[in-house]
Amino acid sequence: MRALSDAEVLLELAVEAGDADAAKEAQATVASVRKAFEELEFKRMLSGELDAGGAIVQIQSGAGGVDASDWAYMLLRMLLRYCERKGWSVEIVDEQPAEEAGIKGATFVVTGDYAYGLLKAEGGVHRLVRVSPFDAQGRRQTSFASVQVTPDIDDDIQVDINEADLRIDTYRAGGAGGQHVNKTDSAVRITHNPTGIVVQCQTERSQHSNRAKAYKLLRAKMYDYELAKREAKAAQDAKDRLKIEWGSQIRSYVLFPYQQVADHRTDVKTSNVEGVLDGDLDDLIRTYLLQKGSEDQAKN
């Protein structure tokens, strides 16, 4: 901060003296110091054990009927566009189409630098307010969908899973229909009975491949569950973390009667709803992570 302050003073003096070359040099110094400071801030807010790695993102539609399913699909698109902007690679491992529009839920795996560290800021309940395109009377509708983000853990991280605690079901993969629909029960759903954690995969053609990917998702969720239990010092708190609580949304997206996205954790608001829904999440995510980092630091 001392270097930044000195550089800004130098810039002011150069401008007052009318020295264009000195002003240009001082301006470059200010920009360089600011960039270095922002990099330090970035590293501080993403200093968690698994922040630098990949992430597993699960989206689930909630209250709101058809609108909620459509909203879940909009959230899926928003997060996929954000990943695209970051240059991360994405693999959708499960997508459950809703009957009329949108999706019931979807799960995708993100690979890229700091994917988990950044995307974890999106975990929680998201609320949409708009005039429903599915209501013939054009009434306003409030819909909810949840996002859960867990770290995509490496194979060398030990996660104890008792095979006797698992229920493994197979079913026919869903789809839009036609010749590409899988005709065999290749999709796999794994339920961990003690915790109620459920994962599923249906994107691969073979049951073996889907089972392997579903097990990978289960390992990640079990790891996250154990972390939550350790942090909360109680198994019940960890289970509550896995539930969808519709009354505790982290962010609201209002399309009618005005245009605004409001993050309830940071009080950040923006009227650029279209940009946010197209994946422009940097300001919202950065503000939240910096605030949370400061709060965590104050506690310690």
Mind listing the pLDDT tens digit for each residue in 176-219?
Answer: 443 444 557 889 999 999 999 999 999 888 999 999 999 999 99
SS3 state of residue 138: coil
Beta bridge partners of 103: 97
pLDDT, residue 38, reads 73
User: What's the whole-number mean pLDDT along residues 119-123?
Assistant: 96
Mean pLDDT computed over every residue of the chain: 86
pLDDT tens for each residue of 238-291? 455 445 545 578 999 999 999 999 999 999 999 999 999 999 999 999 999 988
Residue 182 has a pLDDT of 52
pLDDT (0 to 100) of residue 300: 65
Q: What residues have CB less than 8 Å from 239, skipping those under 6 apart?
A: 195, 196
In CATH terms, 163-238 corresponds, of 3.30.160.20, 3.30.379.10, 3.40.50.620, 3.10.450.50, to 3.30.160.20
β-strands 249-254, 124-131 pairing? parallel
Rounded Cα distance, 185 and 295, in Å: 48
Q: Which CATH class is domain 55-156+245-299?
A: alpha beta
pLDDT digits (tens, 9 = 90+) for 149-184: 999 988 778 888 999 999 999 998 765 443 444 557
State the DSSP string of 9-54.
HHHHHHHHHT-HHHHHHHHHHHHHHHHHHHHHHHHHHT-STTTTS-
Residues 6+ apart with CB under 8 A from 28: none
């699909």: which residue's tokens? 73
Provide the whole-model pTM: 0.78
User: Residue 41 above 70 pLDDT?
Assistant: yes
**Predicted local confidence at residue 11, as pLDDT:** 66
Give me the residue spans of the domains in the chain.
2-45, 55-156+245-299, 163-238
